[in-house]
Each structure stands twice: as structure tokens, then as C-alpha cells.
Amino acid sequence: MVRPANRSRNRRHVTRKTPGAKKVVHYVERKPQRAHCSKCRKVLPGMPKARPIKMQNASKSSKRPERPYAGILCSACMRREIISKSRS
């Protein structure tokens, strides 16, 4: 019987073949949505789509781009923000 926590469809059902040639179903958490720009809501390129435990083990440079406002603003909004900050 499936564990009660895995009975709902909030976990992906992945069929795997075991070394004993049996087919079993693994219940895997779904991937989160892609990161979005906080101003224009555009999808941020260079940001991985992974669960928090995978992000913990990833290197810092692979988590987000190396520039100001990385992971928060897209490049166009970042440029506008830096220009507006320098003008005021």
C-alpha cells in the first residue's frame, strides 16, 4: 500500500526499474516554478529550477548570476534601477 503522504497528486509518480527487474513507482516532489523579476514579472534567466536542498549543495555561482540585483531583477530592470539610483 502507498504511504498516505504519497496518495495525493502533489508528488510526481516516476516509474523506476530495480536491479531485480521489477518496476516500482517512486514519489518525487515536483520542481518549483521558475524565478521571476520582481518588477516586470519576466522569467529570470540563469536561475536554476530546483528544490531548496539541491540549491544548498550547489555552488554559489550556479545559484544565480554574478551581478547587482541578481536573482531579484532581470537585466533590463537592473539597468533602469542603476541609472535611476545614479541620477538621484
Question: pLDDT for 33-71, tens place per residue?
Answer: 999 999 999 999 888 898 888 889 998 888 888 889 988
Of 60, 77, 59, give the one whose Cα is nearest residue 69: 77
Give, as one character, the DSSP assignment of residue 31: P
User: Over the chain, what is the mean pLDDT?
Assistant: 91
Q: Based on the fold, state whether residues 7 and 46 are members of the same structural domain.
A: no
Q: Note the pLDDT of residue 2.
A: 86
Task: Work out how many domains the chain is built from and give that number.
Answer: 2
3-state secondary structure of 12: strand
Per the structure, the complete domain to which residue 26 belongs is given by 1-30
Q: Note the pLDDT of residue 64.
A: 84
For residue 72, count CB atoms less than 10 angstroms from its CB and return exposed for 0-12, middle for 13-18, buried for 19 or more: middle
Buried b (16+ CB within 10 A) or exposed e, 30-59: eeeeebebeeeeeebeebeeeeeeeeeeee
Q: Note the pLDDT of residue 84.
A: 95
| Residue in the structure block whose three cell numbers are 517512486 | 26
Q: Based on the fold, state whether residues 83 and 68 are members of the same structural domain.
A: yes
Q: Based on the fold, state whether residues 20 and 50 are members of the same structural domain.
A: no
Note the pTM of the prediction, 2 decimals. 0.65
